[in-house]
């Protein structure tokens, strides 16, 4: 059997082209601003899910930001509320959380309800809502499931709002002339 060519050898036909565009910069700015806001003004909170919300919420333009950010935010809200309700039902039967097997049929019902709610309110909410639903049901302590779900909703909302704000204040149409001037000046000085 013949060995495959080594990466970077003469027979490799693909070329790596790295590009940092405006969306990359705005995404990094949005996530970094979230982390700074949490550091200085919300220091008792962890910025992780706000930063994730900011990254998911940044799109190529405002419409894409609304779509992707909406998917993340509405999914988190639907999954969080649904997870809280189902976990409360679980605690009625097992107040100490000692029998996790009951969570399996609750998850089954929860995923079906999640899909129906997403079809009704926001179609792209299924995947992020499913993530939050599973985390609330299977990875959250009995005494913190409500605060966890509410924190996820708040933090995700902060991140998505930051990306919407950045995309509103710095649309591509406003930034492209500046980028072109910078490139022209940079190439003249070479």
The answer to whether residue 71 sits within a structural domain is yes
Whether 165 has a pLDDT exceeding 90, the answer reads yes
The answer to whether residue 95 sits within a structural domain is yes
**In sequence order, what DSSP letters do the residues of 24-38 get, joined into one string?**
HHHHHHHHHHHHHHH
State the residue range of the domain holding 99: 22-171
How much is the pLDDT for 190? 67
The answer to whether residue 92 sits within a structural domain is yes
| Counted domains in the chain | 1
The answer to whether residue 13 sits within a structural domain is no
The answer to whether residue 182 sits within a structural domain is no
Q: Which of 2-6, 27-31, 34-38, 153-157 has the lowest mean pLDDT?
A: 2-6
Please tell me the chain's helix, strand, coil percentages from 3-state DSSP, rounded to the nearest 5: 75, 0, 25
Residues 85-143 have pLDDT tens digits of 999 999 999 999 999 999 999 999 999 999 999 999 999 999 999 999 999 999 999 99
The answer to whether residue 187 sits within a structural domain is no
The answer to whether residue 7 sits within a structural domain is no
Phi/psi for 99 (5° steps) reads -125, 95
The answer to whether residue 180 sits within a structural domain is no
Separation of alpha carbons 65 and 59, rounded Å: 4
């Amino acid at each position: 059997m013949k060995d495959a060519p080594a990466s970077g050898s003469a027979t490799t036909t693909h070329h790596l082209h790295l590009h940092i565009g405006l969306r990359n910069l705005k995404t990094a700015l949005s996530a970094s601003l979230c982390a700074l806001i949490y550091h200085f003004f919300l220091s008792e909170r962890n910025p992780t899910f706000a930063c994730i919300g900011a990254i998911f919420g940044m799109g190529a333009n405002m419409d894409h930001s609304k779509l992707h950010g909406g998917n993340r935010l509405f999914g988190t809200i639907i999954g969080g509320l649904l997870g809280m309700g189902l976990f409360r039902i679980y605690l009625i039967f097992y107040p100490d959380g000692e029998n996790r097997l009951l969570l399996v049929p609750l998850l089954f019902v929860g995923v079906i309800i999640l899909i129906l709610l997403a079809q009704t309110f926001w179609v792209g909410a299924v995947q992020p809502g499913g993530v939050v639903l599973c985390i609330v049901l299977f990875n959250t302590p009995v005494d913190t499931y409500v605060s966890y779900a509410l924190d996820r909703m708040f933090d995700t909302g902060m991140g998505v709002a930051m990306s919407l704000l950045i995309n509103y204040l710095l649309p591509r149409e406003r930034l492209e002339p500046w980028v072109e001037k910078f490139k022209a000046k940079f190439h003249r000085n070479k």
